[in-house]
Structure 1
Amino acid sequence: MKIKRLFAARKGKAAATASWTALRESFRRQTRKGEGGRLESSAGSDGESRQRNNGQPTTSSFRNLAVATEQSLWRVKLAHREKSFWYPYTTLKNIAALERLSESVGLNLVQLCQGRHGKIADIGAGDGDLGFFLEKMGLSVDIIDNEPTNFNRLEGARILKEALNSAATIRAIDLDSQFSLARERYDAIFFLGTLYHLKNPFFILESLARMTRYCFVSTRIARQTAGGQPLSQYPIAYLLGAQECNNDDTNFWIFSDEGLKRLIDRTGWNILSYLTIGATTNSTPADPDRDERAFCLLQSRTVPALSASPNPVPPGKEAGKTTISWSSGDNGGG
C-alpha cells in the first residue's frame, strides 16, 4: 500500500512538472510569434523600452499566460504539499494592473525588465509565483522575502525552485532591519503588497531607489477612517492596531492617497503611472469589504539615467527634434 501511494505521488509530481514544461514552451512560442479603477499617468522623458510588441506577447495573450501559469503552479504545489501549506492569495492576477501601468506610459512590461543589469527582483514574494512567471519570460530573477514572516518561511519558494528546475535565486532578508543590498542593481523591482507590512516604509523605498531604475509598488491605502473621517486629501498614514486588520500583527502603516504619493516623492522616485482598484470611494484602513489598493510604476531619481524624447523622432517632411536629458543620480539633471 505504501509503495502504491509513493508511486502515485511520484506520478502526480511528474505530471505537474510536465504541465509546467508545456507551459514554458507555450511562453517561448508566444514570444517568437509576437502576436500582432482610476488611472493616472505621467509620460516621462525616458526613451528606452518604448517600442511595443517587439517580439513580446500582446496584453491579452500575456494575461492568458498568467492565468495558465497560476493553474500550472497550483498543480505543482499540490503535488508536493497540501493546500494549507501554500501562500493563500493569488499573485499573478496583478499582471493585469502591472500591464496597465506600463502601457499607460508606452512601455512594454517585459522589455522594461530587460536592461544592462540582467536581472529583476521580486521582493515580498510569497511563494515566488510572480518571479517564476517572469523567469519563464526569459528574465533572471532574485526572489526576496523575510523568512520568519513569510507564510511558509520560504519553504514554498524553495520547493517550487527545485520542482521547476528554476535558476532563480532565493534570498532571505529581514526587510524591517537596516538591511544592505548596496552592491545589487536590478533592471526592475516588483514590490507588491508588502509596504504596509513593514515598520519603516521610508527606509525600504529610499533603499530601493538606489538599486533600480524602475519599481512596481502596490499597497493598501485608505480614503477615510472607520468612523468616516476623511483621509485622502491629507499626506498622512494610519497605524494599525496589532490585530486590527485581518487579525495580522505584521500589518502596520496604511497611507492615504496623498500620503503615499508624498512618501514616494520624498524617497527619491517619480511616479510614471498610478492606479487604484477596489473600494476607491470609501476605503478604510482595516475593513475587508472596503479595501483599496494603489499600484504604481516608479522611476528612480537616484539611479543615473540618460534619456531622449521623442525616440525615435516621428517620420515627417521636416527635420525632427529630439531632446536629450539626464540624471546625475543625485537628483540633479540637465
Structure 2
Amino acid sequence: MQTRHHHDWQTYDELLQKAAQWKQHLQQVKETPPAPERTWYAHDIMASLWHLESLFRELPASILDVFREGRIADIGGADGDLAFFMESMGLTVDLIDWPATNWNGLAGARALKDRLDAQGVSIHEVDLDSQFNLPAEQYDMVFLLGILYHLKNPFYTLETLARHCRYCCLSTRIARRTADRKVELEAAPVSYLLDPHECNNDPTNFWIFSAAGLLRLADRTGWNVLADNRVGDTKRSDPSSDDHDERMFLVLESRQFGS
C-alpha cells in the first residue's frame, strides 16, 4: 500500500522532489508487465511536471492550493503515473481515457490502481471524440498533456472543459512551418491537418497548431492564458518530423467555469 503524503510540502520545488521520489517508486511497481502480452506506456508521463515548473514560477503561489486540496482530472493520462502521484499526495483524481486509443487498453492504469491500492483514483472510459460527459461536474484542475493533437474536435473538448474546470495544464505539439519548409505557420492562427501516416505512422494524430493558433483556440473556447512555454525544436519545428518536434505548455484559467 502506498503512503499518502497529503500537504507536507510548500513550494513547487518541494512538489517536484516528491515527484522524483514517486518516479523511483513506480519503477519498482512496474518491474512486471501490467497484463499478459501488454507493456507499460513507453514515454515519461511525469516529465511534464518539470516542463510546467517555469510556468508555475510566474503564477501566484495560491494557485498551488489546487494541488493540496483540489479535485483533479487527468485526461489521456496513459498508465496514470501522474494521476496516481497526485492521489498519493492526498487528492481525489479522475483518470479519463479511452481503451481503443490507450497504449495498453488501460491495462496499465488498472494494474497500477490495484498494485498501489489507490482508492482515491477512479478510472473512467470516456471517448473524447464523442459528445462526451465528464465524470464530475466540477474540477479544480485538469491535465490535458500531449492529447490535443490526437483529438478530432479540439474546439469542442476545450470548450466543454472550460465549463467544468477552473484551471487547465495543457501541452500539445505545435509547428512553425510545414515539413517541406514552403509554408510559414508561426505568425498565423492556423492548424495543420496531418495525413494518417505522416506523423509517427499514427492515424490518431490530427491537428498540429501554430503557436498563434493554439492561443487563439484557448481564447475562443473560454480560457485565459496565465503562462506559456515552448520546448523542443523552438526554431525549425514542423508538424511531423521526429527531429523537429516542438511542444507548447500552457496554464489556463477558465472564464466559463460553473456556467
Name the TM-score, length of structure 2 as normaliser.
0.92
CA gap of 1:105–1:249, structure 2 versus 1, over 3 A, is same
Residue in structure 1 matched with residue 184 of structure 2 by the alignment: 230
Does the aligned pair in 1 maintain the 2:229–2:248 contact within 8 Å?
yes
Does residue 70 in structure 1 map to residue 10 in structure 2? no
Please state how far the C-alpha of 1:183 moved relative to its aligned partner: 5.3
The one-letter code matched in structure 1 to 2:232 is G
Residue in structure 2 matched with residue 175 of structure 1 by the alignment: 128
Return the alpha-carbon distance in structure 2 between the equivalents of residues 152 and 71 of structure 1: 22
Please state how far the C-alpha of 1:138 moved relative to its aligned partner: 1.3
Counting only pairs closer than 5 Å after superposition, residues 135-284 of structure 1 correspond to structure 2 as: 135-167=87-119, 168-181=121-134, 184-228=137-181, 229-284=183-238
The one-letter code matched in structure 2 to 1:126 is A
Does residue 301 in structure 1 map to residue 255 in structure 2? yes
- For structure 2, list consecutive stretches of 5 or more residues without a partner in the other structure: none
Does the aligned pair in 1 maintain the 2:172–2:249 contact within 8 Å?
yes
Return the alpha-carbon distance in structure 1 between the equivalents of residues 204 and 63 of structure 2: 30
Does the aligned pair in 2 maintain the 1:182–1:211 contact within 8 Å?
no
Return the alpha-carbon distance in structure 2 between the equivalents of residues 95 and 249 of structure 1: 27
Please state how far the C-alpha of 1:152 moved relative to its aligned partner: 0.7
- For structure 1, list consecutive stretches of 5 or more residues without a partner in the other structure: 1-16, 33-55, 305-328, 330-334
**Among 38, 48, 52, the residue aligned to 1:94:** 48
Please state how far the C-alpha of 1:221 moved relative to its aligned partner: 0.2
The one-letter code matched in structure 1 to 2:130 is S
Does residue 288 in structure 1 map to residue 235 in structure 2? no
Please state how far the C-alpha of 1:84 moved relative to its aligned partner: 6.2
Deviations 1:279-334 (A, max 9, x none): 11110001111111000000111015xxxxxxxxxxxxxxxxxxxxxxxx4xxxxx
The one-letter code matched in structure 2 to 1:175 is L
Does the aligned pair in 2 maintain the 1:102–1:108 contact within 8 Å?
no
CA gap of 1:159–1:74, structure 2 versus 1, over 3 A, is same
CA gap of 1:180–1:81, structure 2 versus 1, over 3 A, is closer
Return the alpha-carbon distance in structure 2 between the equivalents of residues 60 and 187 of structure 1: 21
How many matched pairs? 256
Please state how far the C-alpha of 1:170 moved relative to its aligned partner: 0.2
Return the alpha-carbon distance in structure 2 between the equivalents of residues 224 and 260 of structure 1: 14
Does the aligned pair in 1 maintain the 2:34–2:111 contact within 8 Å?
no
Return the alpha-carbon distance in structure 2 between the equivalents of residues 137 and 79 of structure 1: 25
Does the aligned pair in 2 maintain the 1:101–1:273 contact within 8 Å?
yes
Please state how far the C-alpha of 1:72 moved relative to its aligned partner: 1.5
Residue in structure 1 matched with residue 72 of structure 2 by the alignment: 120
**Percentage identity across paired residues of the two chains:** 46
3-state secondary structure, aligned to 1:181: coil
- Larger deviation, residues 83-92 vs 140-149: 83-92
- Larger deviation, residues 224-233 vs 176-185: 176-185
Please state how far the C-alpha of 1:109 moved relative to its aligned partner: 5.9
Name the TM-score, length of structure 1 as normaliser.
0.72
Residue in structure 2 matched with residue 5 of structure 1 by the alignment: none
